[in-house]
Amino acid sequence: MTAPATSRPAGGPARRLRRPRTVTGRRPGSLAVLVITTLLVLVPFLWMLSLAFTPEEAAFGSARLIPSHPTLDNFERAWSDGALGRAMVNSLIVTLIAVVTNCVLAVAAGYAFALLPFRGSRVLFYTLVSTVAVPVSVTLIPLFLMAKTFPLTGGNDITGVGGTGLLNTLGGVVLPYLIMPMNIFLAKQFFDGFDGDMAEAARIDGASELRIFRQVYLPLAKPLVAVVAIFTFTGVWDDFLWPLVVTTSHDTQTVQLALTRFLGSGNVQYGALMAAAVLVTLPVLAVFLFNQRHFISGLTEGSTKG
Amino acid sequence: MPSITPRRRAGATAAVLAGALLLVSGCGLQPQRSGSSGGDASSLTVWWPGTNQAEMDFVDDTVVPAFEEETGAHVEVTFVDWADLSPKLNAAFAAGTAPDVFGHGPAAVADFVVNDRVEDLGPYVDRMDPALREDISASLPGGQVDGTQYLMPLSVQGTLVAYDADAFTEAGLDPDDPPTTWEGVRDAAERLTVRDGGTITRAGLLVPSNPLGAQQSFAGFLAAAGGAQLSDDGSTAAFDSPEGEQALDFFAGLYGGDSPVADMLGEDYVNMPPNQQPIVKGDAAMAVLTAPALQQAVEAAPDKDIRAMPPLRFEDSDTPAMWGGAGPGLMINADSPAKDLGWDFIADLLAPDVSGQYTERIGAVPVHASAVDSEYVRSSPVIAAFVAASPSFVPNPNVPGWTGVRDALDARIAEALFGTADPSDALSDAADQVDSLLDAG
Amino acid sequence: MTSSPTATEAVLESGRTGRAPRRARRRRGRLTGLWFVLPAAAIVVWFTLVPVFYGLGLSFTQYSPLGRTGPRIIGFDNYVRLAGDADFRQAIGVTVRYTVQVLPVLVVLALLLAVLANKPFRGVGLFRSALYLPHIVSLTAVSMVWLWIYSRDGMVNELLDLVGLDPQRWLHEPGSALTAVSAMRVWKALGSNMVLLLAGLQAIPRHLYEAARMDGANAWQQFRYVTLPGLRPMLVYVVTMDIIYLSQSFAELFVLTQGGPLGETTTANYLIYNEAFQHNELGSASAMAFVLFALIIGFSFVSLRALTGRKS
């Protein structure tokens, strides 16, 4: 079930069709497609932005994208009670821990599954990845019990009895995110694109496996690490059900929980909700912007990849 | 997986299964009798149902400080959005970390009771001031299972028909003398419906028909026809009856037949933003609404004269009835070490002046009969209509497994409304499903 | 790095060879890979796999999380009941339909955008961010906007009105509800798919394009014979990820349609959630979950065969 390495490209037709265009040359047509798609994709978000600046009583009142009386009240209300700020700090701590563990351990594991296979590694790989296909509804309570009986935390003894373990702690929140199996899968697919010859060459020179990983392959895997960082950050930042059950106080709430404060049943505060939602996307957007620079096109780089 | 031969694979699977069963039976899922967090009686944890801003502010700024001052105890209140209450409570009860006091709607109470998770509040209610107990007596049955009090409702919920008085006048109807029967409402709706070719541009009457709304609407019609959803002992379905058929025929007839008077089938118009409410926008002349939604609609349409109709009945029934009854309330965890403190917290909320302020903040219907004389009720004709209608509100039955029963009934009702099933078939199918669910429970 | 330049250069020049890496297994370091895998595997086993087996065990029991007595073993009863459960059958059908109608649109669009956003130009980061935005914006908040977009006087009906068509009840007619939600799902997942494919495009060696151009390949031929084969590992990942996540869809349906009308948008995972947390039946919820699990694994397997089976 693994992807075979690619075969050499078959040559095109024998006759020259025309002189190749410069690599960076863009046809106006493709740029137009990109611009139009981007604008379409942005429409719902622009409405959110518009609602965030619209006075509460006028929400959804007019079909205008630019609010007639823009106001910052919603942002003030969203931020005022401090719950959102506190939640952002909590979410940042949890996401950063998860980003580090995934970028280091999951990437290393994926590398080994692709290029350093061992006896039983395929079975292990499929077992780890297949856990993602089990709906979280049924693993939630078992995981909750494990967090509660985590040894030597929250008043527990070595056998995990006596206290509340990791419940209502940031350590408890981060548990299921420490390694996301999909990141191992992603890393394996990425390294599947390489072959073992570079490692062979380095082995002949007597380099250790760790060193081969760090100095030969990791530099080529910048886009991979960037994607793992982005996806882990986004995934943890957006997750809801686990933080919902594992936290009980403001001190450990995450951002998605803080947003529910504006969802009063039959009394949604649209303006404040949108303002809070906009504020909450900013850190993720920053992480994305920072990381996407690693997608510097291979077409422009002098170095080649193989 | 080439490295495992079939025989070894079967062995591995069996081992895994055995291990899993051992795990399940062996760790973590034993009966939990441990105390909740906040293990002494000087602190109290409360999970409050819903995240209504006005409600949260009132609890945080008024109720909690007063209570802490009065008792010297520390209270930690966590507000949980309605949709998220059940996962949170389930996990907490499974692990024995549930709060001392928690809230929910009446529909969930029986499952807590059957699992011995909530305290019998009867003794506490008995010790209440008799006058106060009498004052809130109308709301109490909604919090009872088999006659025992487990939940103390904080407000009364219910639905009434809201109508646009100006539209009545235009159509030659008297807004000061609205219909008193559903047949009369249907006739009025015929006259109020505006059509453009085959499509309705203004609905004569809107009734909730969204998932779960459909079941509540049906329950209301059924009660107005003199029927009941379950038998008196709660063991079998009772809606597959002539009354049930009358109710569902009427309900489905609003959307189908030669001259439908309702549209928005399946849409949750009740929870739309106030300025999007059909009755506010003039997309409907009459609409069944809850008290907070109706109150917000009145405020969102200052140039309209929106009123609430008294409870309705069908012509061959003698008692008017609408769906409603006890609203969300609070329960006490049976394992809480701070039960008395928990009751004190609930009792504070039931004090007439606190309760009055509370219901006014959230635009809900007070639990106190005496509230009819309060400034809040007198200044709001809509709320006054709900208070007056309180005795006619008929709640859903409190039986274990009710949520499953409700969902099954709701799905079959929807089939009748969309016309994919005949009403009588839908009812008998639903009755079969409900009976087997009640047997299993 | 002390490797001899010639060896490494030779490797770099050779690009990919046609050999699968695992065939190049060395005697030396047969277990080295295990050390690389161990930390991650240990964490996944402990915090993911154990709860999964726990859940699997629960599927053979009757268990209410509220109960005081723990799970009661009832063998295969939950599974037997599911076999005759019409609502569950319908939900599986909805799940399959939803996955099948979102997946191709999503992957093809994302591939197009990734190719377009791969070429460097001033401001390309902004385009990428804008396309990624839907993926990171709070679903609860943005779903209110989508509810409004689809509403009677919403944007979609306004546009229809411009061209003289009647308004539709997008989210409330059994015929259109699932498609309306699908459109939102495509919108939401487009950015993440694009980002993955962008990363995949980075791994394609430049000299392959140069060689193709020397052979006179036009843009389409370069895409067909260089880009697509080079992207294959990432496409495998993207399709598998989409299948796994789409088959477990729940949140967007919960906020847009509550599973209605007539259960046309009630996915299997929606039922599982309700069974576990509304009906407090964790045992039968687990049984449903593992039936869905088997379906997802089977579905992934078939699509991967289709993706990787065709050798170009």
Tokens of C1: 């790095």
Average pLDDT, integer, range A257-281: 88
Average pLDDT, integer, range B411-421: 95
Is 60 exceeded by the pLDDT of residue B403?
Answer: yes
- Other Cβ atoms closer than 10 A to A77: 18
Q: If pLDDT is split at 50, 70 and 90, which confidence band does C310 have?
A: low
Query: Which sign does the torsion angle of CA C132, C136, C142, C147 carry?
Result: positive
Across the interface, whether the CB atoms of B273 and A59 are under 8 A apart is answered yes
DSSP string, B233-259: TSSSB--SSHHHHHHHHHHHHTTSSSS
Q: Does A215 touch chain C (CB under 8 A)?
A: yes
DSSP-derived 3-state class of residue C204: coil
Average pLDDT, integer, range B58-84: 93
Query: What pLDDT is attached to residue B404?
Result: 92
Query: What pLDDT is attached to residue C140?
Result: 87
CB B293 within 8 A of CB B280: no
Query: What pLDDT is attached to residue B275?
Result: 85
Is 60 exceeded by the pLDDT of residue A279?
Answer: yes
Query: How far apart are alpha carbons B227 and C77 in whole angstroms?
Result: 35
Query: How far apart are alpha carbons A269 and A275 in whole angstroms?
Result: 10
Place of tokens 């075969």: A7
Query: What pLDDT is attached to residue C123?
Result: 80
CB A113 within 8 A of CB C37: yes
Q: Which of C73, C261, C279 sits opposite B404 (nearest CB)?
A: C279
Is 70 exceeded by the pLDDT of residue A255?
Answer: yes
Cis peptide before C174 (omega within 30 of 0): no
Q: Which of C112, C158, C289 sits opposite A138 (nearest CB)?
A: C289
Tens-place pLDDT, residues C207-224 = 888 999 999 999 889 999
Query: What pLDDT is attached to residue C28?
Result: 46
Q: Which residues contact C272 (CB under 8 A, 6 or more apart)?
A: A135, A137, A138, C285, C288, C289, C292
Best mutation site among B33, B89, B97, B210 for testing chain A: the one with the most A CBs within 10 Å? B97
Over chain B, what is the mean pLDDT? 89
Beta strand segments in B264-318, E: 286-290, 306-308
Lowest mean per-residue pLDDT among A21-30, A105-114, B431-440:
A21-30
Query: How far apart are alpha carbons B231 and A189 in whole angstroms?
Result: 60
Query: What pLDDT is attached to residue A19?
Result: 38
- Other Cβ atoms closer than 10 A to C109: 17
Average pLDDT, integer, range C30-44: 91
| Residue percentage of chain A with pLDDT more than 90 | 53
Chain A residues close to B90, C-beta within 8 Å? 141
The gap from C-alpha B134 to its chain's centroid, in whole angstroms, comes to: 23
Average pLDDT, integer, range B381-404: 92
Is 90 exceeded by the pLDDT of residue B17?
Answer: no
H/E segment holding residue B221? helix B213-224
Q: Does A124 touch chain C (CB under 8 A)?
A: yes
- Give B302 to chain A, closest Cα distance, Å: 13
Lowest mean per-residue pLDDT among A173-177, B317-321, C29-33:
C29-33
pTM, rounded to two decimals = 0.88
| Residue percentage of chain B with pLDDT more than 90 | 80
Q: Angle formed by the axes of helices A136-148 and C282-309, to 10°?
A: 120
Query: What pLDDT is attached to residue C152?
Result: 85
Q: If pLDDT is split at 50, 70 and 90, which confidence band does B31 have?
A: very low
Q: Angle formed by the axes of helices A222-238 and C177-202, to 10°?
A: 150
Query: What pLDDT is attached to residue B144?
Result: 93
Query: What pLDDT is attached to residue A222?
Result: 87
Query: What pLDDT is attached to residue A26?
Result: 56
Query: What pLDDT is attached to residue B241?
Result: 96
Across the interface, whether the CB atoms of B25 and C87 are under 8 A apart is answered no
Is 70 exceeded by the pLDDT of residue B19?
Answer: no
Single-letter amino acid code for the residue at C214: M
Query: What pLDDT is attached to residue C71?
Result: 92
Q: Which residues pair with C27 in a beta bridge?
A: none
Query: Which sign does the torsion angle of CA B432, B434, B437, B439 carry?
Result: negative
Tokens of A173: 């929140």
Higher-scoring residue by pLDDT: A268, C26 = A268
Query: How far apart are alpha carbons B101 and B348 in whole angstroms?
Result: 13
Chain A residues close to C204, C-beta within 8 Å? 298, 305
Query: What pLDDT is attached to residue B53?
Result: 87
| Residue percentage of chain C with pLDDT more than 90 | 64
Query: How far apart are alpha carbons C215 and A156 in whole angstroms?
Result: 69
Query: What pLDDT is attached to residue B441?
Result: 64
CB B309 within 8 A of CB B176: no
Query: How far apart are alpha carbons A299 and C238 in whole angstroms?
Result: 22
Over chain C, what is the mean pLDDT? 87
Across the interface, whether the CB atoms of C87 and B411 are under 8 A apart is answered yes
Lowest mean per-residue pLDDT among A152-156, A296-300, B60-64:
A296-300
What count of Cα atoms within 13 Å lies in the side-chain half-sphere of residue A293?
4
Query: How far apart are alpha carbons C263 and C95 in whole angstroms?
Result: 11
List b or e across C168-183, with b for residues whose CB sees 16 or more CB atoms inside 10 angstroms. Answer: bbbbbbbebbbbbbbb
Nearest residue of B to residue A148, measured between CA atoms: B95
Query: How far apart are alpha carbons A125 and B15 in whole angstroms?
Result: 20
Please, which residues 198-227 of chain B have a Cβ atom closer than 8 Å to chain C? 199, 210-212
Read off the DSSP letter of residue C223. Answer: I
State the distance between the two ends of chain B, measured CA to CA, in whole angstroms: 42
Across the interface, whether the CB atoms of B24 and C58 are under 8 A apart is answered yes
Average pLDDT, integer, range A199-213: 88
Torsion of CA C241, C247, C250, C251, to 10 degrees: 20
Q: If pLDDT is split at 50, 70 and 90, which confidence band does B40 have?
A: low
Higher-scoring residue by pLDDT: C11, A294 = A294
Tens-place pLDDT, residues A34-90 = 899 999 999 999 999 999 998 887 777 666 778 878 889 999 988 987 789 999 999
Query: How far apart are alpha carbons A272 and A56 in whole angstroms?
Result: 8
List b or e across A5-41, with b for residues whose CB sees 16 or more CB atoms inside 10 angstroms. Answer: bbeebeebeeeeeeebeeeeeeeeeeeeebeebbeeb
Query: What pLDDT is attached to residue B263?
Result: 92
Query: What pLDDT is attached to residue A1?
Result: 37
- Give B185 to chain A, closest Cα distance, Å: 26
Beta strand segments in B302-424, E: 306-308, 322-326, 329-332, 393-394
Tokens of B155: 């407000």
Over chain A, what is the mean pLDDT? 83
| Residue percentage of chain A with pLDDT more than 70 | 86
Query: What pLDDT is attached to residue B428?
Result: 96
Across the interface, whether the CB atoms of C172 and B264 are under 8 A apart is answered yes
Query: What pLDDT is attached to residue B149?
Result: 96
Query: What pLDDT is attached to residue B340?
Result: 95
State the distance between the two ends of chain C, measured CA to CA, in whole angstroms: 37
Average pLDDT, integer, range B319-341: 94
Average pLDDT, integer, range A100-113: 96
Question: Secondary structure of chain A in the HEC alphabet?
Answer: CCCCCCCCCCCCCCCCCCCCCCCCCCCHHHHHHHHHHHHHHHHHHHHHHHHHCCCHHHCCCCCCCCCCCCCCHHHHHHHHCCHHHHHHHHHHHHHHHHHHHHHHHHHHHHHHHHHCCCCCHHHHHHHHHHHHHCCHHHHHHHHHHHHHCCCCCCCCCCCCCCCCCCCCCHHHHHHHHCCCHHHHHHHHHHHHCCCCHHHHHHHHCCCCHHHHHHHHHHHHHHHHHHHHHHHHHHHHHHCCHHHHHHCCCHHHCCHHHHHHHHCCCCCCCHHHHHHHHHHHHHHHHHHHHHHHCCCCCCCCCCCCCC
Q: Which residues contact A157 (CB under 8 A, 6 or more apart)?
A: A151
A191: closest CA among A113, A305, A295? Answer: A113
Average pLDDT, integer, range B132-141: 90
Q: Does A72 touch chain C (CB under 8 A)?
A: no
Q: Rg of chain B's alpha carbons, rounded to an integer?
A: 24
- Give A161 to chain C, closest Cα distance, Å: 18
Query: How far apart are alpha carbons B173 and B192 in whole angstroms?
Result: 9
Tens-place pLDDT, residues C79-110 = 999 999 999 999 999 999 999 999 999 999 99
Q: Angle formed by the axes of helices C50-58 and A136-148, to 10°?
A: 120
Q: Which of A115, A142, A204 sits opposite C54 (nearest CB)?
A: A142
Q: Which of A57, A148, A244 sits opposite B88 (nearest CB)?
A: A244
Single-letter amino acid code for the residue at A273: L
Q: If pLDDT is split at 50, 70 and 90, which confidence band does B34 have?
A: very low
Across the interface, whether the CB atoms of C1 and A216 are under 8 A apart is answered yes
